[in-house]
Structure 1
Amino acid sequence: MTEQRTGPAAGTRDHRVDFYRGIALLMIFVNHVPGITLEQFTTRNFGFSDSAELFVFLAGFASAFAYGRGFLTRSRLVFTLKAMRRAGVLYLVHITLTMLAVSLFALVTLATGDGRYMMQLGLGTFMTQPLDALAGVALLGHQLAYLNILPLYCVLLLLLPLQLAVARRFGLAAMLGASGALWLAAGLWRLNLPSHPDAGGWHFAPFAWQFVFAIGLACGLAKLGRQSLVPFRRGLYILAALYLGCAYGYMALAMQGVEQALPLPAFVRDIDKTFVSLPRLLHLLALVYVFAHAPASSPFQRIAAGNPLARLGRHALPVFATGTMLSLVCQIARLDRDNGPRMDVALIAIGIAVQFGLAAVLDWWRQASATASGTRARIENRIEAPAGSERAFARTTR
């Protein structure tokens, strides 16, 4: 995402970022309907990392433009508060989604009389420990299944000013070094935030995932400086492509579990998502490097603003929230039913169509609002003009 030979000029919106974020959003939607036929065609089946790693990386990249530029060149306090405000918005969206999910499954349970619906997603805690569950939701300690990436994003945004401060004072290398050290410590010693009231920790350990975010942030800051964090090297490009090929072969041949025989630490050997183990991280880095440095003739280097997937990525939060609720509806529709491929394809097709439709409406609204604002400004300028003209006329008639 940082290549200057083929990508957009620094400071302009890189529609490739929105494009890949749109892909990640669709993959997340499909993967949040477990057991569905189309699940086998999502990105997680072709390598060690999946859409979550890409989504967090792109969030870090976008944060360089949204907050990093202002933090480093203008007001640190203002852009720290902006990042905190955004974290607050994400917190409120997460709480809203959680309460909607609880309400949705409760309504279906009441309508059908089937108590199995309240045993999904970790909702059983609301039945046995309602007060503890509510407190856990408020404190982000109790996260329902498939609703656990926004709490991670909240923490990452709260850590962002610290990462930017280190980058400003000591440079990008120091920021990445400190972030990498924390990732390594989290993986080796299983450092995580606790869950409540259930035992265990967060599904996405923030102390590990902050490194993925930091790498994206560093790539974005490098692009703002009209540089490439990792310049193109033919040998490195071939090595990254080979790693992606090996990861694909590993997954295609269903070799999961073979790595357990390797005499290596679990963090280095396993394909662990909670702590972003080394194989997953390397897969993400190889994927980003290959696509960021794709040939200039590649269609992945020429993403227009009107690309439907780029439109999805431009409105990531509302599309993600809508996709999350649609995936839960799909789960309810499929629960303990004999669902064939036609039913699965129909559910996913409807869900994807709704998300594309939402993105199109939001794009239209943004353009209409911008046009209205411009028209309003021109009208105000015209209204002010006669006052000056009347004063000039009065002077000439005296």
Structure 2
Amino acid sequence: MKRLIALDMLRGYALVCIMLDHMPISELRWFTLANFAIFDAAELFVLLSGFLVGMVWLAVERKQGLRAVQWRFTRRAFEVWRALVFGGMLMALVSAGLLALDMDHTAIWHQYAIWVLENPIGFFGVLATMWLQPNLLDVLAVYVILLASVPILVPVLMRHPLSFAAGSFAVWCFAPVLNAFVPNHRIGGLLFNPFGWQMLFFSGIAMGLYRERIMPVLTQHRRLLTILSAGMFLFGTAIVVAAKFGEPALPVRDALRLIYGGEVGKWDLDGTRYMAIMGASWLVAVPLARIMERMAASRLGVALQQIGRGGLFSFLACVLLSVLGDAFQMNPPGQGIARRMAVDVWAMLTLWWISALWLRHGAPWQMSITLRRQAKG
């Protein structure tokens, strides 16, 4: 399967944004995706993950068959679950260490540090059953559920794409009601509603599965689709920008609210956010494709590619760096812009360095283990 360097770059950019967004007093968090788009890095991460699932499914099924690709994604769901559990334990221990050093931080709840020390087995249990999803890692919980459904639902999507799309939309419509039935420590189900976010994830999968067949048809209507996509993206941007202006932009905000109907919720995946990121995906893939390729080939783009290719390992690194970066920026209190900016730069460089080390040493080692297992099988 040929790698798409722009895809890797965007995945890396999403992880950098996630890291900075979770550092409350970061200086660079005011320049992340959420500041100029109605969606944020979480939607970008899920959509790109779905797209990659679709591409990998096609490549593996063609070479090894249906059972092999189903087993691959079953195993991948387990790997993400394992990362959620052990990542949650490690994050809580890091938080406990920081508190022991009298370094306050607000990126995560301090109670995790108390639980992991007072009752580590119980804390492990609530993570393993996904009864509790620590903040910063909560998106992995919905990712586990979605990946676990891939071996069953992707064959259905490939056989009956239109019926699947209709069913996915119907589930999304009732997402808040369905999520309330999911056993969880909080009222209302999981924070990231899997019944809502599945529509974005499977949209990404469909894009990965059908892009070679559908793009020639869509490009015949390139101008119209570009205008519509730009309109959807800019509409979302107008909502975000108008909110930043506050009272002076109230007439504009009221006019926009007549169209989108009020609050644009993230956790159930509001339709406005979905339409905006789908519009952005067309803009990136078609009219801006060459620009994205050139950006991905630049030095900064290559660094972001390495972060993106680090995948799950890079995600865990970005979460832990969020906690550390937050602590470094808060302690001592009253730091100036320059010092907080230095922490931002340190966090980004460290994320890149860790990801590059993983690609050079960790990923080949992991691949060798996989190949040995396949040889024994």
Q: TM-score, normalised by structure 1?
A: 0.78
Given candidates 52, 65, 68, the residue that maps to 1:75 is: 65
Moved more, 313-322 or 218-227: 218-227
2:228 is aligned to: 239
Give the equivalent residue in structure 2 for 1:21. Answer: 11
Identity %, equivalent residues: 22
Using the TM superposition, give the Cα deviation of residue 57 of structure 1 relative to its aligned residue in structure 2, in angstroms: 0.5
Q: Is the 8 A contact 1:126 1:134 kept in 2?
A: no
| Residue aligning to 1:320 | 315
Q: 1:225, 1:121 → 2: CA distance?
A: 50
8 Å Cα contact 2:54/2:209 also seen in 1? yes
- Asked if the contact 1:192/1:206 (under 8 Å) is kept, the reply is no
- Tell me which residue corresponds to 1:50: 40
Partner in structure 2 of residue 291 of structure 1: 284
Alignment of 1:154-233 (within 5 A): 154-170=144-160, 172-187=161-176, 189=177, 191-192=179-180, 194=182, 196-225=184-213, 227=215, 230-231=218-219, 232-233=221-222
Amino acid at match of 1:237: T
1:141 and 1:194 in contact (8 A); partners too: no
Q: Where do residues 119-130 of structure 1 align in structure 2 (5 Å cutoff)?
A: 120=109, 123=112, 126=115, 130=119
Could you tell me which residue of structure 2 aligns to residue 99 of structure 1? 89
CA drift of 1:198 comes to 3.9
TM-fit CA distance, 1:322: 0.9
- Superposition RMSD in Å: 3.4
Which position in structure 1 is the counterpart of 2:352? 356
User: Is the helix fraction higher in 1 or 2?
Assistant: 2
CA contact (8 A) 1:71 1:164 kept: no
Query: Are residues 194 and 369 of structure 1, via their aligned partners in 2, closer, same or farther at CA, if it must alter by over 3 Å?
Result: closer
CA shift digits 1:189-220 (9 cap, x unpaired): 36356464343421211111111110110010
| C-alpha distance in 1 between matches for 2:113 and 2:142 | 23
The one-letter code matched in structure 1 to 2:191 is: H
Moved over 3 A (4+): 68-74, 114-119, 127-135, 192-200, 224-232, 255-264, 301-306, 362-370
Label 1:229 to 1:19 Cα distance change in 2 as closer, same or farther (>3 A).
Answer: farther
**SS of structure 2 residue aligned to 1:339:** coil
For the 8 Å contact 2:96–2:113, the answer to whether it is kept is: no
Q: Which residue of 1 aligns with 2:375?
A: none
SS of residue matched to 2:284: helix
Residue equivalent to 1:391: none
Worse-superposed segment, 78-87 or 119-128: 119-128
Is the 2:8–2:305 Cα contact (8 Å) retained in structure 1? yes
Q: Which moved more, 1:200-209 or 1:301-310?
A: 301-310
1:263-302 equivalences under 5 Å are: 269-295=262-288, 298-302=290-294
* Residue 20 (structure 2) aligns with: 30
Q: Note closer, same or farther for the CA distance 1:145–1:272 as it changes in structure 2 (3 Å cut).
A: same
Amino acid at match of 1:348: D
* Superimposed CA distance per residue, residues 56-97 of structure 1 (whole angstroms, 9 cap, x where no aligned partner): 001011011222443478532222111111111111111111
CA offsets, 1:290-335, max 9 Å, x none?
1111256x42144449722122211121111111111111222234
Quick one: which amino acid aligns to residue 184 of structure 1? C
Name the residue aligned to 1:334. 329
Q: Are 1:110 and 2:100 an aligned pair?
A: yes
Where 2:133 maps in the other structure, the secondary structure is coil
- Looking at structure 1, the residues matched to 305 and 59 of structure 2 have their Cα atoms a distance apart, in angstroms, of 23
Compared CA separation, residues 229 and 138, structure 1 to 2 (3 A): farther
- Cα 1:117–1:105 change in 2 (3 A) is farther
Determine helix, strand or coil for the equivalent of 2:25: coil
CA contact (8 A) 2:24 2:106 kept: no
Gaps of 5+ in 1: 1-10, 373-398
* Aligned pairs, number: 355
Distance 1:81 1:56, change over 3 A: same
What SS is found at the alignment partner of 2:179?
coil
The one-letter code matched in structure 1 to 2:266 is: K
Higher alpha-carbon Rg: 1
Alpha-carbon contact 1:148-1:203 (below 8 Å) kept? yes
Q: What is aligned with 1:379? A: none
